[in-house]
Every structure is written in C-alpha cells, then in structure tokens.
Structure 1
Amino acid sequence: MMNKRPSIDVAVIMQRIANTGPSARWQSWRWELADVVMNESGFGTEPRLLYENESTQRWLHGGLKVELFKDDGEGYYLNATTDVPSWFVLWRMEEEASVADEPIPRPIVVSLSYYDAGRWLDAQENVEQVPAPAAVLEWLNAFVQEHHVVEPKRRKRPESFRSLTDRFGNPASITAEKKFGGAQGGGQGSTHG
C-alpha cells in the first residue's frame, strides 16, 4: 500500500486592479494574487467571479491541492523560518477567454516550498506570494520537524588545492623554470623575415 502524501485543498483568489500613475497610460489594469484560502466543496473547480466594481475584479479558483514532499524538507524549512511564511502561486494567463469576456489568469500550482518558487522564477513564470495562516504554518512546521534533515556544512577546498588543467581539460603544471621563449640576457627578440 502506498503512503499518501500530506496535502490540503485550497482555492486561489486572483484580482484585477486599476493601474495608477504613469503605467496607466499603457495598461489600465493588472492582475495579481489576492489570497489563498481553504477550499470548500461549494467552490467547484471552474473560476467564478466573486466581486466587481469599476476598479476591481476578484475571481475564485477552487480545487487546487498543496502536497508536501519528503525530499523537499529544506524548501519548506526555508519558508517556515522566514519572517513571513507564505503560499507561492504559479499562474498563467489564458490564451483565449473561457469564462469571462477576456482572458483571465489561471493558477496552475500552489506550494509552500521556497525551492519550488525559485525554480518557477528561474523559468520566468508568474509567481506571487501571500502570507500563509497560522493553522497552515503549524501543519507545515510539524512536517518540517519530521522530515527536514540539516545537511552538515562541507568545508570548501581552497582554490589553490585544485588540480590545474589547460583550456582543453588536460593536466597542466606550473614551473618557475624557463623552458622556451626569447633570447637570454640580451633582451633582443628574434627577427622575422
């Protein structure tokens, strides 16, 4: 029988807000992560418009799962020990409008791992964070205490002890003895004809 990974079901709220200042000249609004909340069965899995006025729209995206993986203990530890432990949400804009008059953002995955967020940012994805609530942090801390193993610091070998190689990867050596080159003592170089 397989061990089931610890997980919780969440919903993501994305909001469209009016831009202010100089950026409003090029784009009148922008999308951002508003919150991550515990999922409820009534939320469903299709995005729902929660609220709209002249400057804001809020969309609920239910049915997302946050799983904890034993081999990512360090990523969870780094998040749990920061000043503001957070949810990390990777989201992408729809190619075409599906449930609204125009494309909306779709949360793809939610995580509590710093390493996940870092990988997504390295891949140039849209990644945002919001603080995680106390109950989630208790759950995360219990997992970290059980599965995070502090790696001992390895002493880095000084650069002077590294073996030398030439630009082709062949072993190289350095000597103070002059093996070849220009004339000795006279300071005259060779002439080419």
Structure 2
Amino acid sequence: MPDRPGIDVAVILRKLPTSSRWQPWRWELEDVVPGEGIAGDAPRLLHRDAQGERWLHPGLRVELFRDEAEGYYLNVTTPAPAWFVLWRMEDTATVAQEPIPRPLIVTLSYNEAGRWLDAQETVEQVPAPPQVVEWMRLFAEEHYVPEPKKRKRPESFRRLEDRFGQPASVTTEKKRGGGEGHE
C-alpha cells in the first residue's frame, strides 16, 4: 500500500445552550488541533460549566490522496482554507452520561466535503492553520492537473432544426407568386 502524506489531528466539539425549549442545547465544531502528543483515541471531557461542554476527540488522521488534488486546490484557492469534519451523534451514551457527537473523518478536500453534504451528513468547517494550508498547497501543485477546456463550437455552425428537432433548411431564393396566372 502506498505511503500517503498525512498528519494526526484531534477534533474539539462544543455543546452550547440554546433558547429553544424543544432543544435546550446544540453541538458545533470548535477546532481541529494537532494530534501529536495526545494519547489514546477515546473522547474526553475538557470543560463543563453552565455555558456548556468541550470534548476532545483524538486519534484522527488526515491523509492527502492524489485523486483528491482538485479538492485541495479548490480549498487552497479560497479566501479561507478550512478543515472539514464529518461527525455523527452516538446512538448510546458510551463515554458521557448522554450521547455525544463523534467525528468520523477529517479532510482538506472541498470535493470530498461536498460529497458528504450531498449524502445529508453533518459537515462543519473551521479555518486551517497556515502551515497546513502550505502543506496542502504544495501537494495540490504537484498533483493537480486541470482538465483541458473543451472548445465550444460557435452557434453559427450549429445545425438548424425546427421545433420538432427535424432538420430545417434556409434558402436565399425568393418564392414567386401563389399559383397560375400570376407573373
């Protein structure tokens, strides 16, 4: 299996109170941080108070794939390059007293994040730090090959068709008269 460039990261998710009586709190992505030096892969509570909770989810790896080079290029060329995190709520409470969200995948590819959104997944983004953006830029420059633009044929060369899609013809001859006796 080829060795892909990658980095270990951890995700911080935050639980915030809301003003809704139907949903008293909500979860959101707070940050993606370097995972180097963070032991284990089990989520752990960082902070809890009346304003909510912060959970650290270590043990995630971001790898760069050559076939995603266009997605990295699109991310690098935006005004705010970002991490994209796909997360889901746990079905049961395994670490906390109640279910908490679990980040499943972290990527830097716009295209991959778009596919997740198309699949109705929960995807959030946070800004990527300059050194990660530079790492991604160098990879995209090396592997991204833009598709050649196809030349569009001028409209004047298009085949003429009537409203039913049948070939139509144009003539420059003038039609004369309407029948016999007219000259």
- Name the TM tier (shorter chain): 0.7 to 0.9
Structure 1: which amino acid aligns with 2:2?
N
Aligned mates of 2:154, 2:22 — CA distance in 1: 52
Quick one: which of 148, 155, 166 aligns to 1:173?
Answer: 166
Residue 60 of structure 2: aligned partner: 64
Secondary structure in structure 1 of the residue aligned to 2:148: coil
Aligned mates of 1:121, 1:36 — CA distance in 2: 19
Quick one: which of 120, 126, 129 aligns to 1:130?
Answer: 126
The CA deviation at 1:148 is 1.0
TM-score, length-normalised on structure 1? 0.79
Secondary structure in structure 2 of the residue aligned to 1:43: coil
Structure 1: which amino acid aligns with 2:68?
D
Quick one: which of 104, 108, 114 aligns to 2:104?
Answer: 108
Deviations 1:128-182 (A, max 9, x none): 0000001111111110111111222213457884898xxxxxxx63458xxxxxx
Unaligned runs of at least 5 residues, structure 2: 170-183
- The alignment's C-alpha RMSD in Å is 2.4
Aligned mates of 2:139, 2:3 — CA distance in 1: 14
Would you say how many aligned residue pairs link Structure 1 and Structure 2? 169
Secondary structure in structure 2 of the residue aligned to 1:25: coil
The CA deviation at 1:8 is 0.4
Moved more, 45-54 or 149-158: 149-158
Secondary structure in structure 2 of the residue aligned to 1:106: strand
Moved more, 2-11 or 90-99: 2-11
Quick one: which of 135, 147, 157 aligns to 1:139?
Answer: 135
Quick one: which of 34, 39, 49 aligns to 2:35?
Answer: 39
Structure 2: which amino acid aligns with 1:88?
F
The CA deviation at 1:25 is 2.2
Aligned mates of 1:163, 1:39 — CA distance in 2: 63
Residue 3 of structure 1: aligned partner: 2
TM-score, length-normalised on structure 2? 0.83
Moved more, 146-155 or 45-54: 146-155
Deviations 1:19-66 (A, max 9, x none): 13xxx2221110000000000333310000001111210000001000
User: Percent same amino acid at aligned positions?
Assistant: 60
Unaligned runs of at least 5 residues, structure 1: 165-171, 177-193
| 1:154 aligns to 2:147 (yes or no) | no
Give yes or no for contact 2:71–2:109 (8 Å, CA) kept in 1.
yes
- Structure 1 stretches of 4+ with a deviation exceeding 6 A read none
Compared CA separation, residues 162 and 126, structure 1 to 2 (3 A): farther
Deviations 1:41-92 (A, max 9, x none): 3331000000111121000000100010111111000000100000000000
| 1:89 aligns to 2:93 (yes or no) | no
